[in-house]
């Protein structure tokens, strides 16, 4: 059974930082690309960031320069460091795993998903 477990999100003020983690079990983590997506109330799920098995990183334009993705293959964990948070970053954040290293920004191309964690940024 494949499990992706995100860390707890939280409530922060605009300009503050938060780090999310996602620990994976049940698959060979180092063989998978990992992605972060988010879904704000009333909006569609959108791509945030992804990291390939060989550490190539991808970001959406809306988070580039503020959010940083990383992975620790020894701990089967992917991280999302979020700095300079804005109210528009408020959403449920999901991590996901993908066996193929392409189309990393397309959410329905992913194989496995976490349960999501809520991040709220107040102004």
Identify the pLDDT of residue 52: 96
- For residue 69, give Cα distances in angstroms to 22, 61, 77, 122: 11, 14, 11, 23
List the pLDDT tens digit at each of the 123 positions of the chain. 999 999 999 999 999 999 999 999 999 999 999 999 999 999 999 999 999 999 999 999 999 999 999 999 999 999 999 999 999 999 999 999 999 888 999 999 999 999 999 999 999
- Amino acid 23: pLDDT: 98
CB 77 within 8 A of CB 25: no
């Amino acid at each position: 059974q494949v499990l992706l477990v995100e860390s707890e999100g939280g409530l922060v003020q605009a300009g503050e930082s938060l780090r999310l983690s996602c620990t994976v079990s049940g698959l060979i983590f180092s063989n998978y690309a990992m992605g972060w997506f988010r879904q704000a109330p009333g909006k569609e799920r959108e791509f945030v960031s992804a990291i390939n098995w060989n550490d190539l990183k991808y970001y959406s334009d809306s988070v580039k320069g503020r959010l940083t993705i990383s992975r620790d293959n020894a701990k089967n964990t992917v991280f999302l460091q979020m700095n300079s948070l804005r109210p528009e970053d408020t959403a449920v954040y999901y991590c996901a795993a993908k066996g193929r290293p392409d189309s990393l920004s397309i959410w329905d191309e992913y194989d496995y998903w976490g349960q999501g964690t809520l991040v709220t940024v107040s102004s």
